[in-house]
Amino acid sequence: MRPSFLRVATKPKWIGALAIALLAAALFASFGQWQLSRSIRVVDAPADLNEVTQLTDITAHGEPFKTNQIDRRVSATVRLALGSCFVVENRVQLDADGSTRNGFWVMSDSEDTLGAHLILAHGFTPNRESAIKVCESDKMYLLDYVVQPKFEQIIGRYEPTEEVKKQLGGGEGASAEQKKIYGATRAFESVSIPQLINALHEEPVSVYAGFVIMQSSGYSALLEPIKIGVKKSDSQLNLLSAFYFVEWMLFAGFAVFLWFRLVQDERDRLAELGNEKPSKAKG
């Protein structure tokens, strides 16, 4: 007859084996905890986040956007690309009291002294008609241009491109209802640099991977300065350390499982011995 699990497991040698298994499991779990602490790392924003840095000192046209460039205050010498104004929907404005408002950004293309294109966000308005009016006006220039745009230094925060969404106005893909709303004014649902550049230029051009939110709304009196929340920290996941964490947890579980299997094997062995003794007595 097979003895019960509890009867076998409570024997001194198996209690000792359980203690060793639990000790090994605890050791493996501590290794896993250490690996877990290394798998997620909080990265503070750069200490000089509010210091103005030349855009060309942290990136160059054609280079990918890097995480440590988010929200950096940068300066650049650019001239406005006339006729490139467009509107972006679904923007969120952060007010001084911490509340938010939904609305629109007015943006445009610009060109720096190296001939590379840099997308600029000039200002926010909660009113779609105001955003369209700004883009339709021929006299709304970034820095009080009179006849031809000239190179001027601008200051703002450098931000990453967003995922591609629909073009709402000024393009062939716009619906009849959207064309009725925006007319010939270009309008988009997101700030996707590749999408915007393709809409503004027929030929390939050099372009920066991110865009700049202007420090002031000098583009038009109808616009407010754009206010966004500045990221204070970020977290990064180390996939290799996360894998090691899972591996150590499996080892910890296996240590206890191995003890369980050994107890089960002992039960089977005792059952076989119990079955053999009667047969020997009969012989």
133 shares its domain with 92: yes
Share of the chain above pLDDT 70, in %: 81
Query: What number is the average pLDDT over the span 134-142?
Result: 62
User: In this predicted model, what pLDDT tens digit does every residue of 23-56 receive, in sequence order?
Assistant: 888 888 887 777 776 655 544 455 466 788 999 9
Q: What does the DSSP 8-state code read for residue 266?
A: H
Query: What is the per-residue pLDDT for 232?
Result: 55
Show which of 210, 231, 252 is a domain's final residue.
231
Q: How far apart are CA 94 and CA 92, in angstroms?
A: 7
Q: Where does the pLDDT of residue 191 fall: very low under 50, low under 70, confident under 90, or very high at 90 and above?
A: very high
Q: How far apart are CA 65 and CA 57, in angstroms?
A: 13
The strand ranges marked E within 9-71 are 40-44, 53-54
Query: What is the per-residue pLDDT for 49?
Result: 65
185 shares its domain with 61: yes
Show which of 211, 231, 251 is a domain's final residue.
231
Domain with 35, as residue range(s), is 5-40+237-282
Is the model more confident about 228 or about 106?
Answer: 106
Task: Report which of 104, 94, 65 is spatially closest to residue 188, judged by C-alpha positions.
Answer: 104
193 shares its domain with 97: yes
User: In this predicted model, what pLDDT tens digit does every residue of 56-65 receive, in sequence order?
Assistant: 999 999 899 9
107 shares its domain with 157: yes
Show which of 231, 250, 271 is a domain's final residue.
231
Bridge partners, 119 (sequence order): 109, 211
256 shares its domain with 134: no
Structural domains of the chain, count = 2
15 shares its domain with 125: no
CB 125 within 8 A of CB 226: no
175 shares its domain with 107: yes
pLDDT at 233 over 60: no
The rounded mean pLDDT for the chain is 81
The model scores a pTM over 0.75: no
At which residue do the structure tokens 């001084």 appear?
96
20 shares its domain with 101: no
193 shares its domain with 130: yes
89 shares its domain with 204: yes
85 shares its domain with 204: yes
Share of the chain above pLDDT 90, in %: 27
Query: What is the per-residue pLDDT for 118?
Result: 95
* DSSP code string of 170-237: SSTT--HHHHHHHTTSEEESS--HHHHHHHH-SS---EEEEEEEESS-TT-TT-BPP--PPP-EEEEE
29 shares its domain with 148: no
